[in-house]
Structure 1
Amino acid sequence: MNKKEIRKDKIRTLKKLSGIEKKAAEEKIYANLFRSRYWQQASTIALTMAQEFELNTLPIVEEAWKTNKKIVMPRAKKERIMDFVLYNEHTPMKISSFGLLEPDPALQPIAKNAIDLVVVPGLGFSKEGYRIGFGGGYYDRFLADFLGTKIALVLKEQQIDLWDPEPFDIPMDALVMEDKVISTADFQTGK
């Protein structure tokens, strides 16, 4: 399958998940995330507002606020780039041209080097940490020179065998799954 076919297949699969089954899986992923060193060591965390079929990110936002961590949300810009804006309960949000909830375009972005951890969205993930996103390339461009930690939250339905990543594909540092957190470096270096 090519990336386009994988995207369609994963969206279809995720939309079919029952609410009860999905919520149980999400709870396990949240627990693994909050126990992980990646979460524990981060002060400023980049996160998206999930679409209905994606893993719900609101409990992550709430946990961050309870533990005095800052959340920043992405905003798509021209030429397929994005920046991040500090997010709290008073942040004005708008629906983007993609139909996603994003911070108001008038807000000041946060510096990229102020972000410790990016929770990268995607549709499919290999154990090597490569992802198939939604096809816009926004995260690949943002992560190309990002020096912090990159992780993904992965439902079992999102796990896929390795496909041939393209030169611009950026692997995650870790995958947080229902049953474990894996460092992808072990797979990337052949350990």
Structure 2
Amino acid sequence: MNKVDHQLDKQQLRRSLLKTRQLLPVEEWREKSDRICTHLESSHLFTQSKTVLAYFSFRQEPDLSPLISARRQWGFPRCVGDRLIWHLWKPGDSLQKGAYGILEPHPDSPVLHSTEVDLILVPSVACDVRGYRLGYGGGYYDRLLNSSEWATKLTIGIVFDFAFSLELPIDSWDKSLQGICTETGLRMMR
């Protein structure tokens, strides 16, 4: 398969899975999201983490908001240029819509550095059994996870089970995640 076909496959797969996700009835989306949160809460990888990076649900991504509590520090991203900048956030702190319409912490909120982070919960369109993810196509998480400062952080992809597959098309810059969490459970890859 040539590179054009490969990229077209990724685009078609992304479109199809996003459409399926957006067609989930709200009650089913909430139930599946809550089960993902329950699996994470019962994992020692999560409970032992003091600082967790997460995301604000957008376009019916699994909602992780039930996890947010004062028991740990939370970081959320802002898109700045072609990078993600992580900011400390707690309930009640201000939010604003970023370049893609996604809620982001206020730019004046404290920045989190990789040395402070224990776990990254990675939003995904799809994930496979090898730990590879299909993102949204902007490359933000690819750049983050391939940078030397973030490469050793524990990563868990968050996706609904219908988007968990045997094998996704991958590129040379794709880096596998250590785990995948769906509403049916948390699977560690390595």
> Within 1, Cα distance between the matches of 2:187 and 2:113?
28
Partner Cα distance (1:15, 1:50) in 2? 12
| Aligned: 1:44 with 2:47 | no
What letter matches 1:128 in structure 2? R
Match of 2:41 among 34, 40, 56: 34
Following the alignment from structure 1 to structure 2, what is the Cα–Cα distance between the partners of residues 160 and 87?
A: 33
Is the contact between residue 130 and residue 170 of structure 1 (CA under 8 Å) also seen in structure 2? yes
Percent identity reads: 22
Q: CA deviation at 1:179?
A: 2.3
Higher helix share: 1
Q: Deviations along 1:105-159, whole A, 9 cap, x unmatched?
A: 2333111121100000010110111111111111111111312210022211211
Q: How far, CA to CA, are the matches of 2:52 and 2:104 in structure 1?
A: 16
Q: 1:7 aligns with which of 5, 14, 31?
A: 14
- 1:31 CA drift (Å): 1.2
Q: Does 1:73 align with 2:76?
A: yes
User: 3-state SS of the aligned residue for 2:123?
Assistant: coil
**Structure 2: where are the runs of 5+ without partners?**
1-7
Looking at structure 1, the residues matched to 126 and 48 of structure 2 have their Cα atoms a distance apart, in angstroms, of 26
Q: Label 1:21 to 1:107 Cα distance change in 2 as closer, same or farther (>3 A).
A: closer
For 1:166, the aligned partner's letter is D
Q: Distance in 1 between matches of 2:30 and 2:95?
A: 25
Gaps of 5+ in 1: 186-191
Normalization by structure 1: what TM-score?
A: 0.88
Tell me how large the CA RMSD over aligned residues is: 1.5
Paired residues for 1:73-112 under 5 Å? 73-78=76-81, 80-112=82-114
* Mapping of residues 1-191 of structure 1, within 5 Å: 2-61=9-68, 64-65=69-70, 68-78=71-81, 80-144=82-146, 145=148, 146=150, 147-185=152-190
Please state how far the C-alpha of 1:30 moved relative to its aligned partner.
Answer: 1.3
The one-letter code matched in structure 2 to 1:75 is R
TM norm structure 2: 0.88
Secondary structure at the aligned position of 2:12 is classed as helix
Please say if residues 113 and 148 of structure 1, whose CA atoms lie closer than 8 Å, have aligned partners that are also in contact. no
List, as ranges, runs of 4+ consecutive aligned residues in structure 1 with deviation greater than 6 Å: none
Distance 1:10 1:96 in 2: 23
Q: Distance in 2 between matches of 1:25 and 1:96?
A: 26
For 1:7 and 1:166, locate their aligned partners in 2 and report how far apart those are by CA, in whole Å. 15
1:144-189 Cα deviation digits (max 9, x unpaired): 131221002221121123133111112110111222221112xxxx
**Would you say the 8 A contact 2:52–2:72 is kept in 1?**
yes
| Contact 1:125/1:132 (8 A) holds in 2 | yes
